[in-house]
């Protein structure tokens, strides 16, 4: 049996090498310094990113899938503030083509882009400095991140604040954002310290630079390679942000992206720690309204195993290294496709192959496949509803997807999935997106989710258990039905809300148990309460 993405090797018992960790960090610094030596005439405008949890990002997603911002990708997020500013200014200035989205959405996106893009159109050599304080309050019925999996714990209203500082020069941009939020204390999946009055974490801390054919980011921020506005199956933002290096070679229409990261360690015995690493590379292309991408990702590590330079090679093949060089790896593949039409909306698909059988085998060795898939339609115009659009999506993630034989190769960071947050489920969602006179898109939807008891945190089944292991829906299947509304506004006062009524049968995977009620989360922000911006001469 040779399963693609399977974990066939075993780690060597011993302590993690501090020297390997130091060499890894030194190599990242060397890459950054070497890239900074490129000729200044090839420089492209560096840009901060608009965070994925900013309500403006939701509005930009709606603009992208409706075809209003054709220069932005519908499969890669977060968006660069400079690119959003250029795209929205062009859309607002275009009085020839029929407008594909409300003008207030474009203005909200432009205002957000200007807030994050300190330099704007400035061509001077000054160092631009900015900072802001954004206080907010979150009212929620549950502490869980996904409302479709809500329980009664964590109900309440929680104050918080984002403190952001940025430096922007012609050659680079650096950003840090500290999140102080009492809601983290109610989050059962938050890994940080939560036994104090307040909890906090660094959400963003990165430096980024761009040239004509090269872009380099070093630091932490959340990323998502999934169809807008959904979470990606291979790389999503369910996990908290983590430090990584991203190298992009090429141009917007054709580029190769590589990400390498040092994940959290896994203690396997009282005196043995397994180091963990993550790498993914992705070739993406765009032709007119068609976007395509193919990606390969790997999680690897183990006791006494350090950073592997071959697995940071943008032009390498991880899976061949697993077999030809006898490396123990957890490899997965993803294919992405999105078609943006002129008047019919955006249609997208994503397929994930985490593990499947490719060779013949004897009795009790046929491993169930570990796959995932998403189909979506967004921004489909409704002729009888001015400004309205239909949307729908279907997602399936198999029982053993993201699960591995070796615990340190599990597809997660700090216990949170690097792609989706759960496995062993499918979900159907459909609704209507409206354009109210104020604010951003208002999405009215209905959703149905079937959740099995499979969990990628569990141990991988033994070969003798393969015949009894279902491909999807292990154990008692929980069924959740939800009718809800989502609304986002971006401005001086920003709002991100998702409220609705849901009913659950076989709740908590107990046959016959039912639960129902209103579940929701509303976050109200003052954007910003305090702000400063200026320039510093040499």
State the pLDDT at residue 96.
Answer: 53
At 326 the pLDDT is 73
Q: Which pLDDT band holds residue 457 (cuts at 50, 70, 90)?
A: very high
Residue 219 lies in a domain: yes
Rounded CA-CA distance 147/391 in Å is 19
Work out the average pLDDT over 146-172.
94
The answer, yes or no, to whether residue 1 has pLDDT greater than 70, is no
pTM for the full model? 0.90
Look up residue 343 and give its DSSP letter: S
pLDDT band per the 50, 70, 90 thresholds, residue 323: confident
**Residue 498 backbone dihedrals phi, psi, to 5 degrees:** -145, 105
Banded model confidence at residue 360, pLDDT cuts 50, 70, 90 = low
Please report the pLDDT score of residue 361 as a whole number: 65
Domain span including residue 379: 18-536
More confident residue, 330 or 78: 78
Helix and strand element counts for the chain (H, E): 5, 22
Residue 7 maps to a domain: no
How is residue 455 annotated by DSSP?
A: -
- CA distances for 412 relative to 34, 144, 239, 319, 492, angstroms: 31, 17, 8, 19, 36
d(CA 500, CA 495) in angstroms, rounded, equals 16
pLDDT in tens, 81-113: 999 999 999 999 986 565 678 999 999 999 999
Reported as a pLDDT band with limits 50, 70 and 90, residue 37 is very low
CB 492 within 8 A of CB 526: yes
Q: Residue 40 — pLDDT band, cuts 50, 70, 90?
A: very low
More confident call, 198 vs 109: 109
Establish if 5 belongs to a structural domain.
Answer: no
Work out the average pLDDT over 311-331. Answer: 84
Q: What is the share, in percent, of the chain residues with pLDDT greater than 70?
A: 89
Q: Residue 331 — very low, low, confident or very high, per pLDDT cuts 50/70/90? A: very high
Residue 11 lies in a domain: no
User: Cβ–Cβ contacts within 10 Å for residue 343, how many?
Assistant: 10
Contacts of 94 (CB under 8 A, 6+ apart): none
pLDDT computed for residue 224 by the predictor: 98
Query: What CATH number is associated with residue 79?
Result: 2.40.160.130
pLDDT value at 8 more than 80: no
Cα distances from 375 to residues 71, 162, 378, in angstroms, run: 22, 34, 10
User: What confidence tens digit (pLDDT) does each residue in 408-441 have?
Assistant: 999 999 999 999 999 999 999 999 999 999 999 9
- Residue 1 domain-assigned? no
CB 433 within 8 A of CB 388: yes
Residue 152's pLDDT band, with cuts at 50, 70 and 90, is confident
Give the chain's domain count: 1
Is the pLDDT score of 167 beyond 50?
A: yes
Whether residue 142 has pLDDT greater than 80? yes
**Residue 8 within any structural domain of the chain:** no
Q: Does residue 327 have a pLDDT over 90?
A: no
pLDDT digits 0-9 by tens, 246-263: 999 999 999 999 999 999
Residue 429 neighbours by CB under 8 Å, 6+ apart: 392, 393, 394, 445, 446, 447, 448
Of all residues in the chain, the percent with pLDDT exceeding 90 is 73
Mean pLDDT of the chain: 89
Query: Residue 356: what pLDDT?
Result: 65
Q: What is the band of 39 on the pLDDT scale with cuts at 50, 70, 90?
A: very low
**How far apart, in Å, do the first and last CA atoms of the chain sit?**
64
pLDDT score, position 3: 42
Q: Please check the confidence at residue 364 and state whether its pLDDT lies above 70.
A: no
For residue 13, being part of any structural domain is answered with: no
CA nearest to 429, candidates 378, 464, 472, 391: 391
- Is 290 part of any domain? yes
Q: What is the dihedral of CA 119, 121, 125, 126, to 10 degrees?
A: -30
């Amino acid at each position: 049996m040779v399963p693609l993405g399977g974990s066939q090797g075993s780690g060597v018992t011993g302590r993690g090498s501090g020297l390997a960790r130091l060499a890894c960090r030194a190599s990242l610094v060397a890459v950054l310094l070497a890239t900074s030596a490129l000729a200044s005439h090839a420089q492209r405008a560096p840009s901060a990113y608009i965070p994925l949890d900013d309500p403006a990002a939701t509005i930009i997603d709606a603009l992208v899938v409706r075809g209003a911002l054709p220069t932005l990708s519908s499969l890669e997020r977060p968006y660069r503030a400079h690119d959003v500013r250029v795209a929205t200014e062009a859309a607002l200035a275009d009085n020839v083509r029929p407008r594909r989205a409300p003008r207030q959405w474009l203005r909200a996106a432009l205002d957000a882009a200007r807030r994050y893009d300190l330099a704007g159109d400035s061509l001077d050599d000054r160092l631009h400095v900015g900072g802001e304080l954004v206080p907010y309050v979150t009212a929620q019925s549950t502490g869980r991140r996904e409302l479709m999996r809500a329980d009664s714990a964590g109900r309440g209203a929680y104050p918080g604040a984002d403190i952001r500082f940025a430096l922007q020069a012609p050659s680079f941009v650096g950003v840090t954002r500290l999140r102080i939020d009492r809601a983290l204390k109610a989050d059962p999946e938050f890994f940080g310290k939560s036994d104090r009055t307040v909890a906090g974490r660094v959400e963003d801390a990165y430096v980024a630079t761009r040239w004509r054919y090269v872009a380099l980011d070093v630091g932490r921020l959340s990323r998502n390679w999934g169809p807008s506005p959904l979470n990606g199956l291979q790389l999503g933002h369910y996990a908290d942000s983590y430090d990584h290096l991203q190298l992009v070679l090429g141009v917007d229409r054709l580029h190769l992206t590589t990400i390498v990261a040092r994940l959290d360690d896994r203690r396997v015995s009282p005196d043995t720690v397994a180091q963990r690493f993550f790498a993914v590379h992705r070739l993406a292309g765009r032709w007119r309204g068609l976007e395509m991408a193919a990606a390969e990702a790997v999680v690897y590590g183990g006791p006494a195993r350090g950073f592997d330079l071959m697995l940071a090679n943008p032009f390498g093949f991880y899976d061949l290294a697993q077999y030809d060089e006898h490396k123990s790896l957890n490899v997965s593949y993803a294919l992405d496709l999105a078609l943006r039409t002129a008047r019919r909306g955006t249609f997208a698909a994503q397929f994930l192959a985490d593990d499947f059988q490719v060779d013949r085998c004897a009795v009790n060795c046929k491993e169930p496949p570990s796959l995932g898939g998403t189909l979506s339609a967004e921004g489909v115009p409704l002729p009888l509803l001015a400004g309205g659009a239909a949307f729908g999506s279907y997602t399936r993630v198999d029982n053993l997807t993201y699960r591995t034989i070796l615990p340190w190769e599990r597809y997660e960071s700090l216990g949170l999935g690097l792609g989706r947050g759960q496995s062993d489920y499918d979900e159907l969602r459909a609704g209507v997106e409206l354009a109210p006179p104020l604010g951003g898109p208002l999405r009215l939807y209905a959703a149905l989710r079937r959740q099995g008891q499979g969990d990628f945190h569990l141990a991988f089944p033994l070969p003798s258990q393969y015949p009894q292991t279902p491909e999807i829906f292990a154990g008692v299947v929980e069924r959740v039905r939800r009718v809800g509304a989502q609304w986002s506004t971006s401005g001086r006062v920003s709002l991100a809300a998702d409220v609705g009524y849901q009913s659950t049968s076989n709740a908590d995977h107990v046959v016959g148990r039912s639960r129902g009620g209103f579940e929701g989360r509303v976050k109200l922000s003052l954007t910003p309460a305090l702000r400063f911006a200026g320039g510093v001469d040499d």
